[in-house]
Amino acid sequence: MEIWKAVDRYIGDTLVPSDPALDAALAASESAGLPAIQVAPNQGQLLHLLARIGNARRILEIGTLGGYSTICLARALPPDGRLITLEYEPRHAEVARANIAGAGLADLVEVRVGPALETLPKLTGEDPFDLVFLDADKDNNDRYFEWALRLSRPGTTIVVDNIIRQGKVIDANSEDPLVQGSRRLFDLIAAEPRVTATAIQTVGRKGHDGLIIAIVDRAQ
């Protein structure tokens, strides 16, 4: 829908100041041939705001791509903060590392390469994360959410991208594994007494989609 895109552009032009490091990250990701599926600028700013609202000092991201959302989140950290971002594709990780360094955030951010289900267990024993952003392979979102809970403390914010899927999420008979992944996540959260959550539909340059936002009430 043209109007959705135009309003996204309006929001971006008015409220989301242009950021040379983010612009450079997008340009470098495009020249490297990465898919342009990063969050929209106003969504990146939402992630930044959520991290600021929660005073996040430790952030975990699953699904780095070229580091666009990573930079939005890491910009919310204090100087001694930390962001760990997990990425499957070595080529994406390489582009992301350069983009993150270009944004002056190399000291705060670590990109770990591998399938997240293999890199997540290595995070146990570290301090809990204050904010977790799930944005990788959507059919594993229910498993990632369980990991996010394991790596959380009471008060941790968990955000999950792309859970509405053009509205297809309401089709219980969908054969789309990404839709079924989203539905498994909704069911898991519905049955999970340790979190308070909601989902917000979004329209804009990325079509009709949405986010789940959850807060951990009890970690165990």
Q: Which residues bind ligand DHB (CB under 6 A)?
A: 37, 135, 161-162
Of the residues 30, 89, 107, 127, which one makes contact with ligand SAH according to CB under 6 A: 89
Q: Please identify which residue in 46, 50, 59, 65 interacts with ligand SAH, judged by CB under 6 A.
A: 65
Nearer to ligand DHB, 162 or 182 (CB): 162
CA 180/CA 157 separation, integer angstroms: 23
* Nearer Cβ to ligand DHB (135/142): 135
Which segment (13-21, 64-72, 187-195, 204-212) binds ligand SAH by CB under 6 A? 64-72
Six-digit token pair at 158? 């968990």
- Whichever of 37 and 199 has its CB closer to ligand DHB, that residue is 37
- Shortest distance, position 153 Cβ to ligand DHB, whole Å: 26
Of 135, 141, 204, 212, which one interacts with Mg ion (CB under 5 A)?
135
DSSP 8: H
In the block, tokens 């990701």 appear at 29
The answer to whether 148 touches 188, Cβ cutoff 8 Å, is: no
- Give me 84's structure tokens: 């760990």
Q: Which amino acid is at 217?
A: D
Q: 196 φ, ψ to 5°?
A: -110, 130
Q: Please check whether residue 98 is in contact with residue 111, taking contact to mean a CB–CB distance below 8 angstroms.
A: no
160 binds ligand SAH (CB under 6 A): no
